[in-house]
């Protein structure tokens, strides 16, 4: 099971996450997010990394040309579409910016396994639905309810929404996701905590050992 640490805003946090073993590093380029980071800052951070992790830019219903330019400037490996972007948008973006596509859906809102399987994405991210919010709720959804449907998904699943060191093992056992997407539980006073990042990744390493045994 892999890990995506999202909402990174500083060089220190990104380096700690990468060195602790995170597989994906997420940078939110949507200006309305409290975890927003500018393209120039994201580009500087990505250039400083060792390329052990995939850099992901997160966008929400932003103009195609803007997102394509950001993806190229920041040298992102993937773009996470967290709004209502069409399949055509995703296909054109993959070709124009040479990136992988992560498409976010919300459980019990816009998610259906048929729609997710048909969408031209490399990964599907399943997040908590909360009216008026596009993500970052810090709340888990009903994983057991979702488990039956998501087992028919034919693409790697990233599980988001209220993931923490305390429930990571339950999430892994219930949904067997390709990766856990974690953000808020790794913060202290609104910023990523190096100590919490390291502790979370240590927990994940323990879970991986248990799964392998």
Note whether 185 and 165 are within 8 A (CB).
yes
Q: Could you give the CA distance from residue 99 to residue 97 in angstroms, rounded to a whole number?
A: 6
Residues of the chain where predicted confidence (pLDDT) is lower than 70 = 109, 129-139
In order of 130, 141, 182, the CA distances from 167 in angstroms are 20, 12, 11
CATH number at residue 16: 3.20.20.70
Terminal CA-to-CA distance of the chain, rounded, Å? 14
| Closest C-alpha to 80, from 150, 136, 10 | 136
Looking at residue 130, its pLDDT comes to 54
For residue 208, what are the domain limits? Answer: 2-212
Looking at residue 108, its pLDDT comes to 77
Our count of domains for the chain comes to 1
Looking at residue 66, its pLDDT comes to 97
């Amino acid at each position: 099971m892999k890990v995506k640490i999202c909402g990174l805003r500083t060089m220190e946090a990104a380096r700690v996450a990468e060195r602790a073993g995170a597989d994906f590093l997420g940078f939110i380029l949507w200006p309305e997010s409290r975890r927003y980071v500018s393209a120039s800052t994201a580009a500087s951070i990505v250039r400083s990394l060792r390329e052990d992790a995939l850099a992901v830019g997160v966008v929400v219903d932003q103009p195609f040309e803007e997102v394509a330019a950001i993806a190229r400037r920041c040298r992102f490996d993937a773009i996470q579409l967290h709004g209502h972007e069409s399949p055509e948008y995703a296909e054109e973006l993959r070709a124009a910016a040479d990136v992988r596509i992560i498409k976010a859906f919300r459980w019990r809102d816009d998610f259906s396994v048929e729609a997710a399987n048909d969408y031209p994405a490399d990964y599907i991210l399943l997040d908590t639905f909360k009216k008026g919010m596009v993500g970052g709720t810090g709340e888990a959804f009903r994983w057991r309810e979702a488990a039956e449907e998501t087992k028919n998904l034919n693409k790697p699943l990233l599980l988001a929404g209220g993931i923490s060191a305390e429930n990571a093992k339950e999430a892994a056992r219930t949904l067997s996701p390709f990766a856990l997407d974690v953000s808020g539980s790794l913060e202290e006073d609104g910023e990523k905590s190096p100590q919490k990042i390291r502790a979370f990744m240590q927990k994940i390493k323990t879970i991986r050992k248990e799964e392998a045994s």
